């Protein structure tokens, strides 16, 4: 069973009139994507509102018109919601399922408030059939406390297996059968495994776990919030497998408390546990989930994106699944998740010289960029230096990069930083540099000194380096050798500098220079001089 189309009318929550239309071939996974408050949960609430008018999901009761109606209309009712399934419209399906006794399993719901910090069941009691869908949240604002009920159900399942197979079953065979599949899912997400389902009569009414390396098993209560969340979600889906095999699963923000890298694994496991005839609706703003949808589940999902700047409350809107193009993904990652992508993407990229490919020993990749990132990475944390080959390559590539990147990442400023050597190998001076700056576009920057080594091999840096490493810096020898720190070729003189620093062992020049870059600090003259060239264009 799959939903094809849903409509929320007459001011349902924040929507004046919203239709989500998945077309003739609705997919298995529907992701509602967008920033906080855009209306993802409201769509799920709309489905529950309609369903709960017939069969209540959860045990939290219904919400009043203030919850559902934007205009706070007192008699606002479920008829403002329409849902079309691939097998027909809502009322028809409800009717057919009523005759089969499966009317309560049309939807399965998890609200984002899945707080199950404790699990200690003191006494056994009768539970109702799981198909009645009577515990947990009834709307997206309710507490979705399912762990205890689900633990009871796991016990019942376990004991029933032992009873049904009393002649052959052992505790271990029951465990392998009942928690084997669940463990397989759990292990794909976490380094964690259920070892026992405890014993209510023995005052151990909880799940017990083990982890690699741990000497003893430990109980549910000591798991981290993210681990509890994963156990909770997977256990619930696992228990529903039999009865909810033709169901719309609604999961609101499955990513809560869970690291990005594990989110993706969780979505893959959710997909495995949910039956083939079901559809999964997830409301999400998680990078991990989107990555899974973008890569592993691409052919099985449709993405509904809620954009900024749409008059949802005052105009009629229809949403269709987005085309899964790079540009759209970029838009989702950048716009819907701007708070997160902003953290990882630079605001400024500075192309500099330096080999862009690894050398023989693989070490000089992006050497100049590494040095600059070391020196200025902290103060200018939104800036990223990238090496792009020698002087002429830098010119060509930076042109291309500027042309393309500035279109793709309109927010990013791109600069080009050159060594002083801009006169095709001929000697030049400060005046030539100023002329170059005057007559080139603003994004070009040029160093005052000949090359990066003229900064790193400055006396100021070497002295601090030697001091911190208990080496004797031979200052008179240095002064004799380095007579012009601005223009002198120092790049090929690492051996000489090494001697002046009193280093007797063999060193790798690239590593040595990178090490020196760590000693360049904000209060140094070299730092300030280079900073002015790069960031102030002086």
Ligand X SMILES: Nc1ncnc2c1ncn2[C@@H]1O[C@H](COP(=O)(O)OP(=O)(O)O)[C@@H](O)[C@H]1O
Query: If we measure between CA atoms, which residue out of 90, 95, 112 comes closest to residue 44?
Result: 112
- In whole angstroms, give the CA distance from residue 140 to residue 293: 23
Query: Closer to ligand X at the Cβ: 67 or 409?
Result: 67
Q: Is 37 in the site for ligand X (CB under 6 A)?
A: yes
- By CB under 6 A, the residues from 51 to 80 that bind ligand X are 67, 69-70
Cβ-based neighbours of 232, under 8 Å, separated by 6 or more:
114, 116, 146, 147, 150
In the complex, least distance from residue 225 CB atom to ligand X, rounded to whole angstroms: 20
In the complex, least distance from residue 257 CB atom to ligand X, rounded to whole angstroms: 17
Adjacent-strand bridge partners of 88: 85
Per-residue CA distances from 249 to 3, 116, 140, 245, 420 (Å): 11, 20, 13, 10, 63
Token representation of residue 100: 């089969």
Query: Closer to ligand X at the Cβ: 26 or 39?
Result: 39
Query: Which among Mg ion, ligand X, none contacts residue 13 (Cβ within 5 to 8 A by kind)?
Result: ligand X
In the complex, least distance from residue 43 CB atom to ligand X, rounded to whole angstroms: 7
- Which residue stretch of 39-47, 468-476, 510-518, 521-529 sits at the interface with ligand X (rule: CB under 6 A)? 39-47
Query: Which among Mg ion, ligand X, none contacts residue 14 (Cβ within 5 to 8 A by kind)?
Result: ligand X
- In whole angstroms, give the CA distance from residue 78 to residue 50: 5
- Nearest residue to Mg ion by CB is 41
Per-residue CA distances from 138 to 47, 58, 243, 253, 534 (Å): 11, 5, 19, 16, 58
Token representation of residue 194: 């259920």
In the complex, least distance from residue 295 CB atom to Mg ion, rounded to whole angstroms: 25
Task: Choose, by CB under 6 A, the member of 2, 5, 9, 14 that binds ligand X.
Answer: 14
Q: Is 41 in the site for Mg ion (CB under 5 A)?
A: yes
Task: Choose, by CB under 6 A, the member of 7, 42, 247, 454 that binds ligand X.
Answer: 42
Query: Which among Mg ion, ligand X, none contacts residue 39 (Cβ within 5 to 8 A by kind)?
Result: ligand X
Token representation of residue 257: 């408390």
Task: Choose, by CB under 6 A, the member of 36, 361, 441, 470 that binds ligand X.
Answer: 36
- Read out DSSP for 122-134? -S------GGG--
In the complex, least distance from residue 39 CB atom to ligand X, rounded to whole angstroms: 4
In the complex, least distance from residue 233 CB atom to ligand X, rounded to whole angstroms: 18
Query: Closer to ligand X at the Cβ: 68 or 157?
Result: 68
Rg (CA), the chain: 32
Fill in the DSSP letter of residue 143.
Answer: B
CA angle, 474 then 465 then 446, to 5°? 100
Query: If we measure between CA atoms, which residue out of 305, 119, 313, 358 comes closest to residue 223?
Result: 119
Are β-strands 3-8 and 17-21 bridged in parallel, bridged antiparallel, or unpaired? antiparallel
In the complex, least distance from residue 396 CB atom to ligand X, rounded to whole angstroms: 46
- By CB under 6 A, the residues from 270 to 299 that bind ligand X are 283
Binding-site size, ligand X (CB under 6 A): 14
Query: Closer to ligand X at the Cβ: 253 or 356?
Result: 253
Site string for ligand X, 152-171 (x = CB under 6 A): --------------------
Q: Is 38 in the site for ligand X (CB under 6 A)?
A: yes
Query: Closer to Mg ion at the Cβ: 138 or 494?
Result: 138
In the complex, least distance from residue 40 CB atom to ligand X, rounded to whole angstroms: 3
The string over 335-364, giving b where at least 16 C-beta atoms fall within 10 Å of a residue's C-beta and e elsewhere, is bbbeeeeeeebbeebbbbbbbbeeeeeeeb
Interaction site with Mg ion (CB under 5 A): 41
Interaction site with ligand X (CB under 6 A): 13-14, 34, 36-42, 67, 69-70, 283
């Amino acid at each position: 069973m799959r939903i094809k189309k849903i409509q929320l009318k007459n001011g349902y929550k924040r929507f004046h009139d919203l239709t989500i239309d998945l077309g003739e071939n609705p997919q298995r996974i529907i992701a509602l994507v967008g920033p906080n408050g855009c209306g993802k949960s409201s769509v799920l609430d709309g489905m529950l509102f309609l369903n709960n008018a017939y069969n209540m999901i959860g045990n939290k009761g219904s919400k009043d018109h203030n919850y559902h109606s934007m205009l706070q209309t007192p008699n606002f009712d479920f008829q403002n919601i329409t849902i079309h399934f691939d097998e027909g419209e809502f009322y028809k399906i409800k009717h057919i399922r009523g005759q089969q006794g499966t009317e309560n399993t049309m939807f399965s719901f998890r609200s984002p408030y899945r707080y199950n910090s404790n699990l200690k069941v003191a006494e056994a009691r009768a539970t109702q059939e799981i198909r009645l869908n009577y515990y947990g949240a009834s709307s997206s604002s309710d507490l979705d406390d399912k762990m205890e009920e689900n633990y009871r159900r796991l016990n019942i399942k376990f004991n029933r297996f032992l009873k049904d197979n009393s002649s052959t079953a052992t505790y271990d065979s029951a465990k392998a059968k009942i928690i084997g599949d669940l463990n397989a899912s759990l292990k794909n997400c976490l380094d964690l495994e259920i070892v026992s389902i405890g014993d209510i009569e023995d005052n151990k009414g909880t799940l017990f776990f083990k982890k690699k390396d741990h000497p003893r098993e430990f109980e549910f209560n000591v798991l981290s919030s993210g681990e509890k969340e994963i156990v909770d979600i997977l256990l619930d889906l696992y228990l529903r497998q039999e009865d909810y095999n033709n169901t719309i699963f609604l999961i609101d923000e499955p990513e809560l408390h869970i690291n990005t890298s594990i989110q993706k694994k969780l979505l893959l496991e959710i997909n495995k546990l949910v039956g083939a005839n079901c559809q999964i609706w997830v409301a999400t703003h998680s990078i991990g989930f989107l990555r899974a949808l973008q890569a592993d589940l691409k052919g099985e999902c449709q993405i509904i994106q809620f954009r900024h700047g749409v008059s949802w409350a005052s105009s009629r809107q229809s949403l269709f699944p987005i085309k899964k193009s790079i540009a759209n993904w970029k838009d989702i990652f950048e716009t819907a998740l701007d708070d997160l992508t902003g953290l990882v993407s630079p605001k400024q990229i500075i192309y500099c010289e330096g080999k862009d490919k690894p050398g023989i020993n693989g070490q000089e990749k992006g050497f100049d960029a590494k040095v600059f990132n070391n020196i200025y990475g902290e103060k200018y944390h939104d800036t990223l230096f990238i090496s792009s080959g020698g002087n002429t390559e830098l010119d060509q590539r930076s042109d291309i990069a500027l042309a393309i990147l500035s279109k793709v990442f309109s927010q990013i400023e791109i600069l080009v930083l050159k060594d002083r050597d801009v006169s095709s190998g001929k000697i030049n001076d400060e005046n030539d540099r100023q002329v170059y700056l005057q007559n080139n576009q603003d994004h070009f920057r040029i160093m005052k000194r000949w090359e990066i080594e003229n900064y790193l091999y400055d006396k100021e840096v070497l002295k601090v380096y030697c001091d911190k490493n208990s080496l004797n810096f031979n200052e008179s020898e240095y002064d004799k050798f380095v007579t012009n720190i601005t223009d002198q070729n120092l790049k090929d003189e690492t051996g000489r500098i090494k001697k002046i620093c009193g280093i007797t062992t063999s060193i790798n020049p690239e590593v040595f220079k990178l090490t020196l870059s760590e000693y360049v600090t904000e209060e140094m003259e070299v730092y300030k001089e280079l900073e002015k060239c790069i960031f102030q264009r002086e």
